[in-house]
Amino acid sequence: MRKSQEQVLQNKINVCLLALVSCLLWGSASPCIKTGYDWLCISSADVGAQLLFAGVRFTLAGIITVAAGSLMFHRKLVPTKKTFPSVCVLALVQTVVQYFFFYVALSNTTGVRAAVIQGANAFIALFVAALVFKMERLTVKKVAGSAVGFLGVIIINLAGGSFGSGFRLAGEGFIILSTVAYAFSSALIKIYAKDEHPFTLSGWQFFLGGLALCAIGLCLGGRFSLTLPAAGLILYLAFLSAAAYSLWGLLLKYNSVASVTVYSFAIPVFGTILSAIILKEGAQAASLQSLAALVLITVGIIMVNREENKR
């Protein structure tokens, strides 16, 4: 990438706008996936169909990403022999593992709860980057911010009654495991983007991971009848993955992990609002538990990244 383009992607205003666009797209994923389950008549017990649904989405996302990137950068985006193993690792962590847990979880929890718990992405990504990959430095402020944010996650998982049925491993638990996979993939993208273009990494890992999810889903007996509205929804989900992850990958390539993931606070906010509108979960979105959890997670993320942003 030319120096001028690199400077554009390091401009604080541009980083903010592009990161928020990615977060808005990601925030729309949960309600759209749950809507897809209804339109495709996929039950919470039909794991095979859930994974097949995910596989079709990400296979298309990979094709869209590679095709769009090839046109945009005027060259074929194909991984080299050196970078192909990196693509395979990303496909396993970012697509297969992360979305295995995410798609199964969404059939066992509400869109609002899933969106709020996803706010833990920023904290888990920080600890993985710092403790596993040595890419970030933990400070007292960052640890304190993480504690505040995790308190929000605890509140929403302990909530019961009209808000939900409390913590379930196959629901809220799998969402948390999905965020762990996301944290590892964020750090891996930062590392692998040094040797390969982010569009190539995202596109091919989506494609290979999507094919793997399709194969797993079919082996588990997954089937569904595709309607025109459902096909349009899958295309939208494929587009949002292609656009959001490619933008995120570019930002991670030219900025620190913390300075990008600070905007992850917007994912649960957008997700909660869109779930309230699309899934008619307004009562849950406006509940004391969800509002308190959103505030704590947002404050925690800002505390974690405040020092990084000042630098």
Please tell me whether residue 114 adopts helix, strand or coil conformation: helix
pLDDT in tens, 124-136: 877 887 778 777 7
Return the structure tokens found at 188: 């891996």
The model's pTM is 0.81
pLDDT in tens, 58-103: 999 999 999 988 888 888 889 988 989 999 999 999 999 999 999 9
Least confident of 71-85, 193-207, 295-309: 295-309
The pLDDT of residue 163: 42
The pLDDT of residue 116: 78
Least confident of 173-177, 228-232, 237-241, 243-247: 243-247
Work out the average pLDDT over 36-55: 94
Work out the average pLDDT over 161-190: 78
CA dihedral (66, 68, 74, 76) in degrees, to 10, reads 20
What is the rounded distance in angstroms from the CA atom of residue 216 to the CA atom of residue 20? Answer: 33
Nearest Cα to 195, choosing from 88, 84, 94? Answer: 84
Out of 31-40, 179-188, 246-255, give the one with best mean pLDDT. Answer: 31-40
> Is 50 exceeded by the pLDDT of residue 162?
no
What is the rounded distance in angstroms from the CA atom of residue 10 to the CA atom of residue 251? Answer: 8
